[in-house]
Amino acid sequence: MNYDNIKELLTAKFGEQIQYDLQHDLLNITLPAEMNLKVIQFLYDDEVLRFRFLTDITAVHLPERAGEELNVVYHLHSLENNIRLRLKVYVPIEKPDVFTLTSLYPGANWMERETYDFFGVNFVGHPNLKRILNADEMDYFPLRKEYTLEDPQRTDKDDEMFGR
Amino acid sequence: MVDLPEGYAGEGFYATSFDKVVGLARKNSLWPLPFATSCCGIEFMATMASNYDLARFGSERMGFTPRQCDMLLVAGTISKKLGPILRQVYIQMAEPRWVVAIGACASSGGIFDSYSVLQGIDQIIPVDVYVPGCPPRPEGILDGILKLQELVGNESLRRRTSEKYKELMESYGIK
């Protein structure tokens, strides 16, 4: 089992909608946002592939990509084949809807809550999509690029002294 | 043994002001309530332990209930999410109560100039002594506690009922 087999299987099942490239020796699979659950379900269910372990979910905010500013990234691991995959979907920041993976991987619950907490990705079908790490009163998504990393309420640290 | 406060002594009696006696008792039996979250907490543990021995200064044992303690030691980064909890702990302490901010994070947010970190605990509770350092050495923490003892020993008995103190508490929204 190698990346070429996986590409063949996916192409046979889903056609040309999926793009592949190799980044740092890890296969990168870019798919349309509405297909994420279908493709991951296939990777999970397939008797040979058996991608039964979800390593991580995160997101990246790419403000320069108009119409697909938010990039949701999944890392999957097939423990039996010892193969890892990275799946990417792009969604517009006005409507960042992605299907939840909680039906496949119970561990996705908190990972999706974290991704929601920091980037505001709306995981459709998530049973309990609310903030997990930040304070509940927080009214923005802090890792989006339009917000500063520093504490916005602080006024005593000026540029001259602290390089802001 | 501590030195006698200023007073008038004669055959079989000794007279001094009540303020000084109470100050002397309070300052030499401060009950610490450690609120440790990170590396400053580790330094504080060393301060408590035998090498540096906080007990020499009258703080024999840590109290892990705010009801019994009068010295809140905040050692470490306090995130904004933790802020209300720290505030609740402070409110649960009975008067008189004092607060020591140990280390750069508790004093000012330290290196964590970040959206998620409280930029100094004095944004939510009043602080009596700030100990600098990242983290401070146990000697530094001891020095901070000795400085606090000075404050405690010299505090007027009327301070906690004064208008000024009420204003201070109200500025933090604490009754």
Is residue A12 less than 8 Å (CB to CB) from chain B? no
Domain ranges of chain A: 3-162
Per-residue pLDDT tens digits for A48-91 = 889 999 999 999 999 999 889 999 999 999 999 999 999 999 99
In chain A, residues with a C-beta closer than 8 Å to the C-beta of B121 are none
Residues 53-82 of B with CB under 8 A from A: 79-81
Distance between CA atoms of residues B15 and A163, nearest Å: 59
Question: Which residue, among B113, B118, B123, would best test binding to A if mutated, counting the most A CBs under 10 Å from its CB?
Answer: B113
Residues 114-153 of B with CB under 8 A from A: 114-117, 119
> Tokens representing B55?
């007990």
Query: For the stretch A79-99, what's the b/e string if a residue is b when 16 or more beta carbons lie within 10 angstroms of its beta carbon?
Result: eeeebebbbbbbbebeebebb
Query: pTM for this structure?
Result: 0.85
Phi (first) and psi of residue B116, to 5 degrees: -105, -5
* Contact at CB, B114 and A151, closer than 8 angstroms: yes
Is residue A134 less than 8 Å (CB to CB) from chain B? yes
Question: Which residue, among A150, A153, A157, A159, would best test binding to B if mutated, counting the most B CBs under 10 Å from its CB?
Answer: A150
- Residue spans of chain B under pLDDT 50: none
The CA radius of gyration of chain B, in Å to the nearest whole number, is: 17
How large is the average pLDDT for residues A113-128?
Answer: 93
* Contact at CB, A134 and B119, closer than 8 angstroms: no
Distance from CA of B79 to the nearest CA of A (A): 9
- Per-residue pLDDT, B95: 87
Q: Walk me through the domains of chain B, giving residue ranges and CATH numbers.
A: 8-171 (3.40.50.12280)
Per-residue pLDDT tens digits for A6-50 = 998 898 888 888 889 998 999 999 999 888 999 999 999 998 889
- Per-residue pLDDT, A121: 93
Q: Which residue of B has its CA nearest to A162?
A: B113
Is the CA virtual torsion B148, B152, B158, B160 positive or negative? positive
Q: Which helix (H) or strand (E) holds A79?
A: none
Distance between CA atoms of residues A6 and B6, nearest Å: 87
Is residue B159 a contact partner of residue B165, using CB atoms and an 8 Å limit? yes
Confidence of residue A159 (pLDDT cuts 50, 70, 90): low
> Tokens representing A130?
């609310």
In chain B, residues with a C-beta closer than 8 Å to the C-beta of A153 are 119
* Contact at CB, B109 and A147, closer than 8 angstroms: no
Could you tell me the fold of the domain covering A3-162? Beta Polymerase; domain 2 (3.30.460)
Question: Which among B81, B83, B119 has CB closest to A151?
Answer: B119
Size of chain A in residues = 164
* Contact at CB, A154 and B114, closer than 8 angstroms: no
Question: Which among A148, A151, A157 has CB closest to B117?
Answer: A151
In chain B, residues with a C-beta closer than 8 Å to the C-beta of A150 are 113-115
Distance between CA atoms of residues B9 and B14, nearest Å: 4
* Contact at CB, A162 and B117, closer than 8 angstroms: no
**Residue, of A164 and B77, whose pLDDT is higher:** B77
